[in-house]
Amino acid sequence: MIKRTFYALTLLLILCVSSIQAQNTKFSKEEFRNRQKEFFIQQAGLSNDEAQKFFPLYFELQDKKQAYNKEAWQKLRQGKNPNTTETEYGKIVEDVIQARIAADELELEYVRKYKQFLPAKKIYLLQKAEMRFHRELLKGFKHGQKGPEKKK
Residue 123: the pLDDT is 97
pLDDT tens readout for residues 16-47: 555 554 445 567 999 999 999 999 999 999 99
Give the DSSP letter of residue 144: T
Give the DSSP letter of residue 146: S
Q: Are residues 57 and 114 in contact, defined by beta-carbon separation less than 8 angstroms?
A: yes
- Does the residue 16 lie in any domain? no
For 4-18, 40-54, 92-106, which range has the lowest pLDDT when averaged over its residues? Answer: 4-18
- Does the residue 87 lie in any domain? yes
- Does the residue 14 lie in any domain? no
- Does the residue 41 lie in any domain? yes
- Does the residue 19 lie in any domain? no
Residue 140: the pLDDT is 74
Full residue range of the structural domain in which residue 116 is found: 36-140
% the chain with pLDDT above 90: 63
pTM over cut 0.85: no
Largest CA distance in the chain: 56
Q: Which residues 6+ apart lie within 8 Å of 90 measured at CB?
A: none
Q: Number of structural domains, the chain?
A: 1
pLDDT tens readout for residues 46-72: 999 999 999 999 999 999 999 999 989
